[in-house]
Amino acid sequence: MDNPIVVQYELTCKDAAEAHKAAKDITYEQTVELPVDFPLKEEITNCITGAIRQIELIDNERYAAEIEYAAEITGWQLPQLLNILYGNISIKNNIKIIGVEFPRQFLDKFKGPNYGVEGIRALMGVYGRPLLATALKPMGASAAELAAIASAFARGGGDIVKDDHGLVDHSFCSFKERVLKCLEVVERAADKTGRRCLYIPNVLAGFDDIERQVEFAVGHGAAGILIAPYLIGLDTARYLAANYPIVVMAHPALTGTNFHDPRHGIAPSVLLGTIFRLAGADVSIYPNVGGRFSFSLDECRRLNNALRWELGGLRPSFPAPAGGMALDNISEMAALYGPDTIYLIGGALHSHDKDLSVGTRVFMDKIAEYFSEHIANPAPKSGTAVSSCDINAGGITATNRPNIHIVFGDDYRWDGIKPMVYKSGGEFDFKDITRHELVGKNGELADFDLRYFEIGQGGYSSLEKHVHIHVIICVRGTGTLICEENSYVLRPFDIAYVPPLHVHQLRNDGSDGVFGFFCIVNHLRDKPLMPT
């Protein structure tokens, strides 16, 4: 198998024969989902089913099994990656994923963290020490109360203040009000301290709302968002990270069923480390050793490595251990985690002084004792001065840039826009029609494309149907729209709408010269079909 994905499983089995059988079952269960004795074609057993690389005894009744999978079977997408890794076998017992290695070809399909450790440092202008972060809480506090906490933390010199991951768009504290108030206070604090403190809102919402919330936050100057990939869906997380120029902090909510039993689940270093980084986490929050949850020191170390070590061309991410940190163990934290870490501290900040800005200051000073801080000017935030290319959902090439002004000239032509052939591919019948791509193919951030078509006398477009709709504005001459069993005569500035799956055609059957029209379509759209 060329360039496979290699997964390391830990299997709890009585003996080597049982371990081998369990591994073989996995290779079929996770791919063809058939019994291992099912007669399969050779091309399937060669290229589709997983292949055992090696199995070794690592402890009493514990075996490490390495299985490789063809990267193609993932369809190069994260939901199917999760499926191949652990979809069905999650329902079986005593199979744990302890490691995964991806070929470069697979990693290159993913953008990964937008900022990573170096990008966040440049954004903050802070080098040589860990960053200090805290969470706004409790749920039930007003936006003003939460903003007051953010303000005190920022004035005390803290680096990142995030929403608690349970703060959503509540009737008693709306997302928008919280975001506006908190962004305002951290900006105001920055004016005084000369240092930047990032406010990172929690974006936890349904499929319909989540992208709106990100747009709102980014549009109002937020440099990042907090997301819980297992609550919103791993690929929703990836999509948001890939399409907005933001710092992404990932929260581990709902992942814990993987970590309950050492013989079962996906290890923290794989799930909260490699996979969350692949999905674009600049920061991965996890329960610190010694806190109120249960990760071991070894788990924490492996997780830090998965976040920081080389992973194709993906930027290294910050680990953000949470819980169990206090003034008197910062020296241990420093020795254990090193500088490229975000300390996420809650209660301990409050316990030091009634004024949170004082508690924050005390912590910052303590951190300074163990590290050599270097301070630079913060880099510009993308969120506030974003270029049109930065927040696009796709389709941008480095060479194309949107034009702001496309000047109309003689004979229905625009400067810099060349008429193109109407359609390539031979199955459709059409005649004497040209296409001008005006907006949408040059990295414009539009959900639609604007084109101009011209049909000569006697010409016509192909008779076709598709799920996407057309909006047509006639601007030159006269033409006819055929739409299912009806036909409509279009004159200048008449507008037409072609509903989904309606068989349609544009025709110039008249003697009024050229028929020209704008046609607006969804940017993402299906390919036309021949009518049936």
Restricted to residues 302-341, the positions that interact with a copy of itself (CB under 8 A) are: none
Cα end-to-end span (Å), the chain? 42
Q: Does residue 348 interact with a copy of itself by CB under 8 A?
A: no
Among 135, 133, 218, which residue's Cα sits nearest to residue 183?
A: 218
Q: Could you say which of 196, 264, 302, 451 contacts a copy of itself (CB under 8 A)?
A: 264
Task: For the segment 472-511, give every residue that binds a copy of itself (CB under 8 A).
Answer: 473-475, 481, 483, 486, 488, 490-501
Tokens (6 digits) for 297: 């020191």
Give the nearer residue to a copy of itself in terms of CB position, either 168 or 182.
168
Tokens (6 digits) for 153: 């933390």
Q: Does residue 60 interact with a copy of itself by CB under 8 A?
A: no
Q: Does residue 104 interact with a copy of itself by CB under 8 A?
A: no
Using DSSP's 3-state secondary structure scheme, residue 160 falls into: strand
The angle formed by the CA atoms of residues 341, 245 and 220, to the nearest 5 degrees, is: 100
Beta-carbon count within 10 A of 289 CB: 20
Give the nearer residue to a copy of itself in terms of CB position, either 215 or 365.
215
Q: Does residue 34 interact with a copy of itself by CB under 8 A?
A: yes
Concerning whether 519 is annotated as a catalytic residue, the answer is: yes
Q: Does residue 260 interact with a copy of itself by CB under 8 A?
A: yes
Q: Does residue 396 interact with a copy of itself by CB under 8 A?
A: no
DSSP secondary-structure letter at 449?
E
Helix axes 356-370, 330-337, angle to 10 degrees: 50
The C-alpha atoms of residue 319 and residue 298 are separated, in whole angstroms, by: 14
* C-alpha distances in Å from residue 272, one per residue of 82, 179, 251, 441: 13, 26, 9, 37
Torsions phi, psi for 483 (to 5 deg): -140, 110
> Measured from the CB of residue 486, what is the shortest distance to a copy of itself in angstroms?
7
Whether the bond between 138 and the residue before it is cis, its omega within 30 degrees of 0, is: yes
Task: For the segment 131-160, give every residue that binds a copy of itself (CB under 8 A).
Answer: 135, 137-141
Q: Does residue 108 interact with a copy of itself by CB under 8 A?
A: no
Q: Could you say which of 467, 512, 513, 530 contacts a copy of itself (CB under 8 A)?
A: 467
Q: Does residue 245 interact with a copy of itself by CB under 8 A?
A: no
> Measured from the CB of residue 133, what is the shortest distance to a copy of itself in angstroms?
15
Q: Could you say which of 166, 324, 419, 531 contacts a copy of itself (CB under 8 A)?
A: 166
Task: For the segment 198-237, give every residue that binds a copy of itself (CB under 8 A).
Answer: 204-209, 211-212, 215-216, 218-220, 228, 231-236
With beta carbons less than 8 A apart as the criterion, state whether 209 and 236 touch.
no
Tokens (6 digits) for 229: 């990939």
Give the nearer residue to a copy of itself in terms of CB position, either 192 or 292.
292
Q: Could you say which of 6, 55, 65, 73 contacts a copy of itself (CB under 8 A)?
A: 73
Instruction: Name the one residue in this structure whose structure tokens are 């192909």.
Output: 462
Give the nearer residue to a copy of itself in terms of CB position, either 493 or 511.
493
Task: For the segment 426-455, give every residue that binds a copy of itself (CB under 8 A).
Answer: 438-439, 444-448, 450
Give the nearer residue to a copy of itself in terms of CB position, either 339 or 383.
383
**DSSP letters for 294-331:** ---HHHHHHHHHHHHS-BTBPPP-EEEEESS--GGGHH
Among 322, 320, 328, which residue's Cα sits nearest to residue 351?
A: 328
Q: Could you say which of 261, 365, 427, 512 contacts a copy of itself (CB under 8 A)?
A: 261
Q: Which residues are catalytically annotated? A: 519
